[in-house]
Structure 1
C-alpha cells in the first residue's frame, strides 16, 4: 500500500484507494492540522472533514477529487479546526455539519447538528456518527465500514496514536473522554479499524488497545 498517512503542512496530499471510496489527507498550518476528503467513487459525491485552515489549499484538495464538495463536517469547535470553514462552505455550497453541543461556538452555524447514532450518506457511502465528550462537549467522530470489513474512523482530536485528546480538566473531562472512547470506539470497532486523527499520523485500534489501562492510569 503506497498510502502512509504521513503529510506535512504545504506538502502534497496522500491518497488511499478503498474500493468504493477514495481518501485524501493533507496537512495545513503550523498546528499540523489534518484535512480529509472522502470521495464516493460511484457518484462523485465528496465529504471534507475539518476545513482547518488555508481555504485555497482546501479547495485545491476538492479539485484533486471530483471538483465538487457536497458535505463539510467539523469534528469540534476549537479554533484551529475551523479557520477555513466559512470560506470553503461559501465557495462550494457544501452542506455543513457539526456536533450539536459545539454548533453554537462555530464561526458558521451548521446546517445539520449531529447526535450520537446519526448517519451521514455520501453517495453510496454511509458513515456513522459517534459523539465523544470531554475534549469538547460536542466532538464527533465518523466511521465508515468498507466492503472488506475494515472500518475507517475520523476521530478529530478525541483519539490519537498514544492516547486520547487533551482535556482541560484532568478529572471530569478526562473521565468523560476516556469513557466514551473506550465504550463507543474500542467497545464497538475491532482491531483492524484504521483511525485518522486531527493532527499527525494514523494508527489502528489494534495498535492502541493494549495501552488503554496505561492511559487510564496516567490520566491523559
Structure 2
C-alpha cells in the first residue's frame, strides 16, 4: 500500500483523527481534527509535511473541535459537507452535551456534497454522500489505495448512532449498503471511533449489517 495513514485518537470522546499522505510525499491531508490541536500539529511537523487540506466527514463537536486552530496554523483549506456549514460556523449553538466546549467556530473554505473527486496531495479522493448519522455526512475514499475514511457511518463491529438530530436508521443503512456496493471487500475502513477494519470484515461479522443487501 502506497499510502501512509496515521491515526490519532483525541479528546474525551476518543475520536479518531487521521493524517495521511502518499509514502514519502511532503503533502498530507487531515481528516476530522476533533481535539488536541497541539498534538496534531506536532505530528505534522514531525512528518515534515505541508497540509494541503482538512477534510470533514461531518460537524459533530468531537470531529471538529480542533478545526479552527489547525486551519489557522497550517493555512490549509477546510472542506465541509455543504449541508452542515452552518453548524461549523456556529458550533456552540448546536452543542447539546453539557461539559464540552466551548469550541471555536469556522467558516468552511470549500464544500462537498458527494459525487466529487478531489485531486489533493497527489491523490484522487472520491466523496460519497452518506447521511443517516448526520444530515450532510460524507465519506472520503482513495480507491487507488483501497482506503476509506468513514467518519461515524461505519465502525468496527458497529455503526453510527441515529438518535441525534438528523439521524435516521433506514437512511444510514442505505448509505452503508451503497459503500458496500461501490468498493471491494479489502478496502481498509478508517472510522471516526474504535479500530481500523475492512469492508469485507464488516460485511461478514458486523451484526448491524446482516439485514443489508448483499452484493
TM superposition score normalised by structure 1: 0.82
Whether contact under 8 Å (1:129, 1:141) holds in the other structure is yes
The superposition leaves residues 52-107 of structure 1 with CA deviations (integer Å, 9 ceiling, x where unpaired) of 10110110121132232110011111011111110110111001101111111002
- Number of matched residues? 195
Q: Which residue of 2 aligns with 1:162?
A: 157
Whose helix proportion is higher, 1 or 2? 2
Give the Å deviation of 1:120: 1.7
Secondary structure of the residue aligned to 2:182 is: coil
Q: Which residue of 2 aligns with 1:57?
A: 39
Give the Å deviation of 1:211: 4.7
Secondary structure of the residue aligned to 1:34 is: strand
The superposition leaves residues 19-72 of structure 1 with CA deviations (integer Å, 9 ceiling, x where unpaired) of 2x3211111112111110112346521100011101101101211322321100
Task: Confirm or deny that 1:87 pairs with 2:69.
Answer: yes
Task: Confirm or deny that 1:117 pairs with 2:115.
Answer: yes
> 2 CA distance for matches of 1:56 and 1:196?
22
Secondary structure of the residue aligned to 2:69 is: helix
> 2 CA distance for matches of 1:124 and 1:215?
34
What are the ranges of 5 or more consecutive residues in structure 1 without an aligned counterpart? 1-17
What are the ranges of 5 or more consecutive residues in structure 2 without an aligned counterpart? 89-104
Q: Over the residues paired in the alignment, what is the CA RMSD in angstroms? A: 2.2
Secondary structure of the residue aligned to 1:127 is: strand
Give the Å deviation of 1:186: 0.3
> 2 CA distance for matches of 1:103 and 1:66?
30
TM superposition score normalised by structure 2: 0.83
Choose which of 29, 32, 47 in structure 1 pairs with 2:29: 47
Give the Å deviation of 1:213: 7.2
Distance 1:44 1:178, change over 3 A: same
